[in-house]
Structures are given as C-alpha cells and as structure tokens.
Structure 1
Amino acid sequence: MTLAVTGHMDLTEDSVPLVRAALDTVLRRHSAEAGLVGVSCLARGSDALFAEAVLAHGGRLVVVVPSEDYRRDHVGADHAPVFDRLAAAADEVVVLPYRTAGRPAYDAANAVLLQRADRLVAVWNGEPPSGMGGGTADAVLEAREAGLPVDVVWPEGARRG
C-alpha cells in the first residue's frame, strides 16, 4: 500500500499533536497491509509529520524533491534538520528536473505523488484552492478527478497559523 501526502505547512503549535495522532490512526489502518510506503515532499508541517509517522509504523519512505534548489533555497534553517534526517532515512529520494522551485515544480511534484500512490492522505481543512497552484486543495481535487481515494485528516481543534 502506497500512501502519498499533501497538507498544510502552517499548522499551529497546538495542532501538531492533534494531526500527529490523526495520522497515526490513518496509518495504523494501512500498516497491517504488506509493504507500507509513504511518499512525501517533506515540507514543514503535514508532510514531515506524515513521513515521521510512516517510519514509526515500519513503513518505507520515498521523498519527492520538487527542484534542484529546493533544499538549499526553500527549506528554512529551522526545518532543515528535520528535512535532512527524513531524507537520509528514505529508501528513495527523487529530485525533479526543475532548476528552481515554483508553480511548475510544485505541480509536477503533486503529479508524481499521485502517480505513485494507491491513496492520498490530505491534512486539509477543506478550503478551496488558492489559485496559486501546487497546494493541498489542488492535490485533493486532482486525486479525486483521477479516481484516487483520499483520506482527509483534519482533527477537531486543528488550526492553521
């Protein structure tokens, strides 16, 4: 079972344990199935929480890096240790052939997530797309249009910062 993740990056501090517990519940349902694989871009917030949960449940991790400059120019210093630790724990790291991060790279990363997934886990508050592309709502809509099952995770009390 391969689960990909999309989700909000700007979770409030109080939301992190709520989302972590909700992700554990979702992964517990799927970790009994042989060969749990999680696919994540490792962005701060939901992506990283999902990746940590996949590893904690004994799954394999695949990391999709949207562009060649993503780690250097788009991962903040406060998130870099988490990003690096999770990337080092991954079975596979796929760096997309975009020189710089931006809408085309993020859209392509979402496409790779969906192509590799049996299901999408969306840490999503249900709000519509922002119109900027590459976001959580965009990935959910694309998954649904492709017929990919989506598990929405947004526990009571979760908030964006």
Structure 2
Amino acid sequence: MRIGITGHRGLPDEVEQRVRQELAEAVKAYPPDELVGVSCIADGPDAWFARSVLDRGGRVEVVIPAAEYRNSLPGWHHVTYDEILDRASDVHHTGLDEPTSQAHMAGSELLVGLVDEVLAVWDGQPARGYGGTADVVAYAQRIGVPVRVLWPEGATRD
C-alpha cells in the first residue's frame, strides 16, 4: 500500500503532539512489509509521517519539488531531511529548480499520482497560498485518489 502525506506546517506544540500520535496510529494499520510512505519530507507532518513509516518497518519514497527545495526549509530541519532522504528507497524529482508555490504543487501532484491514498493533516480550511494542503486535497479528490483527513478534534492552527 502506497500512502502519501500532505499537511500544515508550523502547528502549535499541543496540536503537533496529537497529530504525531494520529499519524503513528494511521501507519500501524498497514503491514510493514507492504507499507510505502511517499513524502516531500518538509518540516512538520511530512517528516513525522516518514519517520512513523520507517519506525514501523515500511519504506519511504521521497518527492523533491525543486532542486533548491532543501534550502527553502528551516535550517533546523536539514538534519532530519537529510536522514530521511538517505533512507529513502526511491527519490522522485519534478525537474524544477526554484522552490516556488508552483513547484510545491507540482511535487504534491507527483506525490498524489504515486499513491493509493493520501493522509491529510488538514483543518478543513482553504489553502493560505497556492499549493497548500487544501489544494492538494482537492487535486487528489479530483483525480480519484482517496483522502483520509487527520485533524485532532478541537485543534486550531493559530
């Protein structure tokens, strides 16, 4: 089973802990030898999901939206990004160079095209910018890829 991830970055600490638990529980539903997680491994749900898949004994494939993508992520996240990337069983590239909103959406579209289901850490609100979680969810639904929303009850982003 190939599972993709999309989700909000910069969540408050309390919400982060609840989301991490929900992601770990979601991953436990799949047999480790059949589990392939697909992620862009940004800070937040992307990386938490990838770690949960690896901890479960599954494989991780990474989608890199742009050649300069890593440099657009927070410096404190680079070690985690590099560790997960080093453990990836496959890496997919969009072929784009600059980490623009369009490149992020292209990466998400590539990810959605690779998976059987998308987990979305999504509050149900519209995207705050092109290529945000809501846009990825809408794209997946438009092309018929099932989406399972994981959002803790009563949680807020701000």
Residue in 1 that maps onto 2:48: 49
SS of the aligned residue for 1:61 comes to: strand
Residue in 1 that maps onto 2:19: 19
CA distance in 2, matches of 1:137, 1:108: 14
Q: Is the 8 A contact 1:62 1:92 kept in 2?
A: yes
Indicate the percent of aligned positions where both proteins have the same amino acid. 38
List runs of 5+ in structure 1 lacking aligned partners. none
Measured after TM superposition, the shift of residue 148 of structure 1 is 1.1
Measured after TM superposition, the shift of residue 34 of structure 1 is 4.8
Residue in 2 that maps onto 1:106: 104
Q: 1:86 to 1:158 in 2, by over 3 A?
A: farther
Residue in 2 that maps onto 1:137: 134
Deviations 1:122-160 (A, max 9, x none): 000110233x32110001011111111111000135332
Residue in 1 that maps onto 2:64: 65
List runs of 5+ in structure 2 lacking aligned partners. none
TM-score by length of 2: 0.93
Greater share of residues in helix: 2
Quote the RMSD (CA, aligned, Å). 1.4
TM-score by length of 1: 0.92
How many residue pairs get matched? 158
Q: Is the 8 A contact 2:41 2:62 kept in 1?
A: yes
Q: 1:95 to 1:147 in 2, by over 3 A?
A: closer
Residue in 1 that maps onto 2:116: 118
**Higher RCO, 1 or 2 (CA under 8 Å, sep at least 6)?**
1
Q: Do structure 1's residue 35 and structure 2's residue 34 form an aligned pair? A: yes
SS of the aligned residue for 1:78 comes to: helix
